[in-house]
Structure 1
Amino acid sequence: MSIFKKIIKKIVPQQEPADERNVARLADQLKNADPDYRFAQLFTHDGGFFNYCGDEAEALQTLNQIIKIEEIQSVYCFDEDLKNFLSVINVKYTPVLELFNDAAFITCEYLMADSGRIMLTSNNIQHYPSSRLPDKIIIMATVSQIVTNLNEAMMKVKRQGTCKNLTSISCGKGQLETMEKANTKIFLLLLED
């Protein structure tokens, strides 16, 4: 880089990327909104697919549509309640993460309203790092799992005392990304309690 470019770079302030500005602007606009609305807006802005389900029947129907549209053949799922959903719609699943799994159907710990991120622990993904999960992740959660921010989520996890391997995920279309795969699709089925 030439000396002239280095000097200009020091003098002229660097603009932050448009996506980062948009996420920050959206988060600022939503700071007084209800946590569930704020989470849904930030989650979808970041590339997630948000599906509100009034009851388990609606969740089952939505799950079936996702599996058909995404042409999912084999699902990683170790949660007993979620396995029942997959059995009803006749989808093959494995309780252990396999290379041939093209989706994961899991629960989560918390949904963080201030960032649109989803907190996972070993309760949700066993001992696997989130980076090993398939490109399509379907998450079942309830409205009561929405928390204001990471601090509130951490306090609740600390009170439970049984969670290990904390991580959070998002689709990463904004600057909130930690997933290593940029093409990850996250589908959230949010059930009313």
Structure 2
Amino acid sequence: MSLFKRLLNPKKNKASEKEARGKYYPEEKLPIDEKFTYNFNKNGGKFLYCENLEEILEAFDNILMENDWYEKDVFCINEQLTSRFDGFNLNFSKKGKATFFLSTCESLVANNGSILLSSNQMKEKKLNELPDNIVIFATTSQLVDTISEGLRIIKMQQKGKIPSNITTIQDFESKKEKDFMSYGSSTKNLYLLLLEDL
């Protein structure tokens, strides 16, 4: 089938592929990075892929420019991030009252497009106590398929000192109509700066 026919008739193409593979043949599994990207974007997150630190700094500068966040207060408890993004005329604070939250994360969960955080990133604060705007700095090696894989990694890395406050952020855009499953979740405007490290 030609490329144009596949583009113009995507439903027909999928049906014919399914018929060719058979009714009971298992579904094709997406690679973990594609699955995360798809689910993260579906949740409303803003994704910026960078190949090196220069691109990270450029993307961070673009985020600040887009939102007019220069000379604003930033909640950040990670000293390495504070020194890495020090040249942007920001007021770094370890208190929750800020324009945005700058942090790393424990894992990027592919099967639901969420960000796994713990008290290592946000101390004992709850999600609704964090600023509405969040910028997460992560690497491609932090991609995991499920939340349980992310929890297993935390357990292995912490060796008996498991963080007390573990949560995921999954809702990145406000929905006009909340469903039962999203009741009580706090919506965040989230940017992900993803650095290629594999």
TM superposition score category, shorter chain reference: 0.7 to 0.9
The structure-2 alpha-carbon separation of the partners of 1:178 and 1:41, relative to structure 1 and needing over 3 Å to count, comes to farther
Show CA shifts across 1:21-72 (max 9, x none). xxxxxxxxx9611111110111011100001011111111111111121122
Shift in alpha-carbon separation, 1:172–1:68, aligned structure 2, 3 A: closer
Tell me whether 1:191 sits opposite 2:195 in the alignment.
yes
1:114-170 per-residue CA deviation (whole Å, 9 max, x = no partner) reads 000010000011121121111100000000000010121121122223322100002
What's the counterpart of residue 4 of structure 1? none
CA distance in 2, matches of 1:119, 1:59: 21
Is 1:36 aligned to 2:41, yes or no?
no
Q: CA offsets per residue over residues 61-87 of structure 1, 9 Å max, x none?
A: 111111121122221111111102331
Which blocks of at least 5 consecutive residues in structure 1 are unaligned?
Answer: 1-29
Secondary structure, in 3 states, of the residue corresponding to 2:89?
A: coil
Tell me the residue number matched to 2:96. 97
Match of 2:8 in 1: none
Matches within 5 A, 1:61-140: 61-72=58-69, 73-98=72-97, 101-140=98-137
Q: Separation in 2 of the partners of 1:109 and 1:36?
A: 16
Structure 2 length-normalised TM: 0.75
Kindly provide the amino acid, as one letter, of the partner of residue 191 in structure 1: L
Between the aligned partners of 1:179 and 1:69, the Cα distance in structure 2 is 29
- Name the CA distance, whole Å, in 2 between partners of 1:36 and 1:81: 26
Query: Runs in 1 of length 4+ with deviation above 4 angstroms?
Result: 172-179
TM-score (norm 1): 0.77
Between the aligned partners of 2:44 and 2:112, the Cα distance in structure 1 is 13
Alpha carbons 1:105, 1:138 under 8 Å: kept: yes
8 A contact 2:118–2:164 mirrored in 1:
yes
Unaligned 5+ residue runs, structure 2? 1-26
Alpha-carbon distance in structure 1 between the residues aligned to 2:183 and 2:122: 16
Aligned CA distance change for structure 1 residues 89 and 172 (closer, same or farther; 3 Å): closer
Equivalent-residue separation in structure 2 for 1:131 and 1:46 (angstroms):
18
The alignment yields a C-alpha RMSD, in angstroms, of: 2.0
- Identity, % of aligned positions: 30
Q: Deviations over 1:82-133 (max 9, x none)?
A: 10233122222212222xx110000100000000001000001112112111
Distance in 2 (CA, whole Å) between partners of 1:152 and 1:86 is 30
Deviations 1:5-31 (A, max 9, x none): xxxxxxxxxxxxxxxxxxxxxxxxx96
Q: Cα 1:103–1:145, aligned 2, differ >3 Å: closer, same or farther?
A: same
Distance 2:118 2:87 in 1: 27
